[in-house]
Amino acid sequence: MFQYDKYLRLEMFPHIWCAGCGCGIVMKSLIRAIDRLAIKNDDICMVSGIGCSSRLTGYVDVNTLHTTHGRPVAFATGVKMAKPSLHVIVITGDGDALAIGGNHFIHAARRNMDLTVLLFNNGIYGMTGGQLAPTTPTGKVASTARQGSIDPPFDACKLAVAAGATYVARGTSYHTQQLDRLIEGAIKHKGFALVEILENCNTYYGRPNKIGLLDLLQWEKNNTLNVKAAERMTPEQLEGKILTGLLHQSDRPEYVASYESLMARVQARAGAAD
């Protein structure tokens, strides 16, 4: 049996997440990935924004920075630049990263800043009571879209690839073994790494849309397809499926490394001038 205790602040439990929420499943997956990589708690900094998933930083026994709504990537940029030895992991939600924090998200990807971003996508604003998110599927009901949303949803992974991210993956809270590997790969990757995690909010997404918890989990299973399996399938078979797995990986200079080489150049020039 895997022991989670050494990574948790046990005095913080019970947690605030609803019964059936996907956040706890993802947190355990993250902990298993860290354990596999054998990174010391002291060498990890987790930075989160505001929302249900962002409460995760309160529960894990590492250096934790619970910031303002949408801003964790900006705070994390400061942490990473000032102390590159830290593994900086951003915990964010779909509203946090793609609505109010969209600008920080794309620019950190553009810089290829060495951050691991775990984007918990439950398709709704859970903490504030089920309002429309930039990821809510068109037609679904939210407390600010009672007649069904007319907004098209964002594809976080395509956005990240277009912005310049060098590791882009999608997992679900149903496929936990796959998720462990994707998170592990993201932490190991040197550069901007995104793992979008499809999870469920049965309280504020399931209930208003009359979808039960089991059906929400079944949806994660039935509507996703591993990118490797998809390679062998026809467009008809792929219709309506969401791809999971490692969707994109590329090699580009990482920002902190670029800054450090600039600094070395500047200082060498000054040294020569002296």
What is the smallest separation between the CB atom of 43 and another protein, expressed in angstroms? 7
> Contact with another protein (CB under 8 A): which of 53, 63, 149, 178?
63
User: CA triplet 4, 95, 123: central angle to 5 degrees?
Assistant: 80
Distant-in-sequence, close-in-space partners of 162: CB < 8 Å, separation ≥ 6: none
Q: With b meaning 16 or more CB within 10 Å and e meaning fewer, what string describes 138-151?
A: eebbbeebeeebeb
Task: Give the tokens for residue 180.
Answer: 């462990």
Instruction: Write out the E strands in 159-253.
Output: 167-172, 193-198, 224-226, 242-249
What is the smallest separation between the CB atom of 4 and another protein, expressed in angstroms? 16
> Contact with another protein (CB under 8 A): which of 23, 30, 62, 201?
62
Point out which span in 38-46, 153-161, 183-191, 245-253 binds another protein (CB under 8 A): 38-46
Binding flag, residue 35, another protein (CB under 8 A): no
Binding flag, residue 12, another protein (CB under 8 A): yes
Binding flag, residue 21, another protein (CB under 8 A): no
Binding flag, residue 222, another protein (CB under 8 A): no
Of 187, 208, 203, the residue nearest 90 (C-alpha): 187
Crossing angle for the helix pair 102-111 and 72-82, nearest 10 degrees?
30
Binding flag, residue 179, another protein (CB under 8 A): no
Instruction: Write out the E strands in the chain.
Output: 44-48, 63-66, 87-93, 116-121, 167-172, 193-198, 224-226, 242-249
> Contact with another protein (CB under 8 A): which of 21, 26, 27, 67?
67
Task: Give the tokens for residue 102.
Answer: 């969209």
Binding flag, residue 262, another protein (CB under 8 A): yes
Compare residues 49 and 134 and give the one whose CB is closer to another protein.
Answer: 49
Compare residues 78 and 129 and give the one whose CB is closer to another protein.
Answer: 78
Per CB under 8 A, residues contacting another protein are: 9, 11-12, 41-43, 45, 47, 57-58, 61-68, 71, 74-83, 85-86, 103-104, 106-107, 259, 262-263, 266-267, 270, 273-274
